[in-house]
Amino acid sequence: MTTLGAPPPQQQGPPPVPEPPSGPGVVPPFPAPPVEGRGRRVGLGLGLGAVVLVLVLGGGLAAFIGLTTVATRALNEQADVVVGDYLDAVRDKRYGEAYDMLCQQTKDDETEAEFTSRVSAEEPIRSYDVGDVELVQMSAPVDVTYADGSTAELRAYLAQNRRTGGFEVCRVEE
């Protein structure tokens, strides 16, 4: 029994959650997470991620191979020009020009007069063919044909000029 003016009795704990109504087509009072298609979405996401990864890595590899190929061709071309100019000067008996094309270390070891004396005593070169640079040894093979018709395979050792960055011939030997 309640008396007038007395507060209503208090309930203990949270209010009771009503039971969802039963029957077909009834919506539950809270949303349920979707379960259809979850595996397909995860698989599609992983597949697309793998395709993007392959494209990025493949593009990086292709760029690296292209850069390496271009750099190697540029080094071979520069070595061919430098060794060719040096051998042309020796062949044409322009020993002063040939001496000026040598690297600084060789110039420090041999004077121009010693160089001219040594090179002029060698068999004259008629033709030559410069091969590809070997970066480990910084050298290029040179197939030489001498004036008397004999042939030899020489090796032109190169150094890089610190000021210009270009190649210089240090020595040519068998």
Tens digits of residue pLDDT in 13-52: 677 776 766 767 766 666 666 666 677 888 888 999 999 9
Q: Residue ranges of the domains in the chain? A: 54-173
What six digits make up the tokens of 76? 């071979």
What six digits make up the tokens of 59? 């593009």
**What are the start-end ranges of the H helices in the chain?**
38-91, 95-100, 104-109, 112-120
At the top level of CATH, which class does the domain 54-173 belong to? alpha beta
Q: What strands lie across the sheet with 167-173, from one edge to the other?
A: 125-130, 139-146, 151-160, 167-173
Give the residue, 23 or 69, on which the prediction is more confident: 69
Give the residue, 82 or 37, on which the prediction is more confident: 82
Tens digits of residue pLDDT in 128-173: 999 999 988 899 999 999 999 999 999 999 998 888 888 899 999 8
**What's at 26, amino acid-wise?**
V
Residues sharing a CB contact under 8 Å with residue 160, sequence separation 6 or more, in sequence order? 138, 166, 167, 168
What six digits make up the tokens of 55? 């494209």
- C-alpha to C-alpha distance for 170 and 156, rounded to whole angstroms: 7
- C-alpha to C-alpha distance for 37 and 34, rounded to whole angstroms: 8
- pLDDT at res. 42: 83
The predicted model scores a pTM of: 0.66
Percent of the chain residues past pLDDT 90, beyond the cut: 59
- C-alpha to C-alpha distance for 171 and 87, rounded to whole angstroms: 11
- 150 CB-contact burial (10 Å; exposed 0-12 / middle 13-18 / buried 19+): exposed
Mean pLDDT computed over 50-68? 92
- Label residues 109-145 b or e (16+ Cβ within 10 Å = b): ebeeeebbeeeeeeeebeebebbebeeeebbbebebe
CA 77 vs CA 72, 80, 132: distances in Å:
9, 5, 9
